[in-house]
Amino acid sequence: MKAFLPLALPADHPFWEADERPLSAVDELTVQPEPKMIICRDDEAGHHYALTAGQNSQYLEKYSKITYSTEFGFGICTRAQGLAGSAHDGALVLSEDESHYRLRLTVEDATVDGTTLYSRWDAWDDVTVDTWVAPALPWHVRIHRIDTSRRLHSGEGGFALDRSGNEDPDAFEHTESLEERLCSILLELAGFEISVGIVLVASSIRTQTQTSAIHGRSCQR
């Protein structure tokens, strides 16, 4: 919002008469220890995004996700049941019944170790989630350890994509020309049988909220 403050200046203010200067060179990665964030700049793709360990806030979608992008909008939870209403783009969500999903709630612990972020949160009294996230431009890497005594369903999304009004995730097909380097993939790391899918993203795709590609999976300790 601060970027709009100059609009309040009068027309004869020196601000409007100053010569425009080129943007100073900035690093690909900027670690911000206080909010526990890492700002990532991929100039080749023209994509800037933030990785975050999470902040305690009642506005979960705005502050509690794993990543936020300047190119792609973020989803807001709706009244729709299941993953369709969970706003799980850029986030991990958990559910007992596949109808009501929980985003990262109150963060119990969060640290920054070099360029790796760590957070711990309790989805339920007997479910603890440890998450590590690190940049790997143009990608980023997420690792989750879920300690649970109950059976859970999980969903995880990348950046929000335009589904062109198609509400059936199984029928989703995008016809835009996409760069292969701008994609993400879910990998099986802990012996669970999970679906492995590719989520393609590119600057040519129009931003819409609540349009993440969906990859659900189940796990049990």
pLDDT in tens, the chain (221 residues): 688 999 999 999 999 999 988 878 889 999 999 999 999 998 888 889 999 998 777 777 777 899 999 888 788 777 778 887 788 888 899 999 988 888 888 899 999 999 999 999 999 999 999 999 999 988 899 999 999 989 998 888 888 765 555 555 554 443 333 344 444 444 544 444 433 333 333 322 222 333 333 333 333 33
Burial 152-178 (b: 16+ CB within 10 A, else e): bbbbbbbbbbbbeeeeebeeeebeeee
> What DSSP character marks residue 220?
-
Please list the alpha-helical segments (H only) found in the chain: 60-63
Q: Which domain holds residue 50?
A: 2-219
Residue 39 CA to residue 52 CA, distance in Å, equals 9
Tokens of 195: 């679906």
Q: How many domains does the chain have?
A: 1
pTM recorded for the entire structure:
0.68
What confidence score (pLDDT) does residue 26 get? 86
Tell me the CA distances in angstroms from 94 to 18, 29, 102, 108, 182, one per residue in order: 52, 30, 5, 17, 26
Q: Which helix (H) or strand (E) holds 198?
A: strand 198-200
pLDDT at 209: 34
Distance CA 193, CA 213 (A): 19
Q: Which amino acid is present at 43?
A: D
How far apart are alpha carbons 108 and 54 in whole angstroms?
10
